[in-house]
Amino acid sequence: MTLLAQLPYSQSITALTVDNLSAGYRGSDFAIADICFDLHIGERVALIGPNGAGKSTLFKALVGMIPHQTGYISLHGEDCRTSHKLFGYVPQQEAIDWSFPVTVEDVVMMGRVRKIGWFKMPNKHDRQIVHHALEQVGMADFIHRQIGQLSGGQRRRVFIARALAQETDVLLLDEPFNGVDVNAEEEILATLTDLQSKGITMLIATHDLTLAQTRFDRVIVLNRRIIADGAPKDVFTPEILRRAYGNRVGIFEHGGQATFFLEDSIV
């Protein structure tokens, strides 16, 4: 039985609809094209594909950071003109200056900017929401800590809290497991499992095929277009992965369990 089968809400209710989406440019072509999928409330979905497949482009189009040239995005029935702000987006961590002197509270409060308004001060209600978001990810005790003093896993959890502070229930996480150790990875997964139990919907880009195969209820395979979308047992086949990754994919079988790996590392 999967985790989703144990949850108290109906996973048949659609949270996000993406229909015929094309965005970004790669030369004369779109970086992603003809993207169609639905996410249901409480799903935890892995987004996999090779470097340059368009995973970050997809996220940026969903949140309105770049325009989409064709297609339709709807979150909870609202079209993209009003729903961009309803996403909680956690970008790749490499783009962040960790030496910048801000506290954990400051970082999470950044998620309230659209609610507060530019150049306005947060009020008691905003601080309560920030504290609650940190409680949700197990980081409330670090509220006054400098962000640069945290471990990699703790930083990821703070940025998940920043997304939650937007009062969203749909999270887009771009490579949250990249560069963290096994203990931090488990901390992040435990946080995500707890959020999922509360009905938070998540689309998570990852290069870790083992995680995608074993810790998610559904996997979307992307290489500019969607190659496959389904349960891990249906997606993790040699044919599908080689369509996405080319000849980089190999298979190691032991005890009836297949491990898929790429040319430069087992994942």
pLDDT at 8: 46
pLDDT at 6: 43
How far from 264 is each of 46, 219, 247, 249, 250, CA to CA, in Å?
A: 21, 22, 12, 10, 11
pLDDT at 21: 96
Question: What does pTM read for this prediction?
Answer: 0.87
Q: Which residues of the chain have pLDDT under 70?
A: 1-11, 81-84, 94-97, 250, 253-257, 261, 263-267
pLDDT at 26: 80
pLDDT at 5: 41
pLDDT at 7: 47
- The answer to whether 40 and 13 have CB atoms below 8 angstroms apart is yes
Q: Compute the distance between CA of residue 57 and CA of residue 65 in angstroms, rounded to an integer.
A: 9
Domains and CATH numbers, the chain: 1-87+168-238 (3.40.50.300), 96-165 (no CATH)
The burial of 208, by beta-carbon neighbours within 10 Å (0-12 exposed, 13-18 middle, 19 or more buried), is given as middle
Q: Which residue has the tokens 């995973």?
A: 55
pLDDT at 170: 94
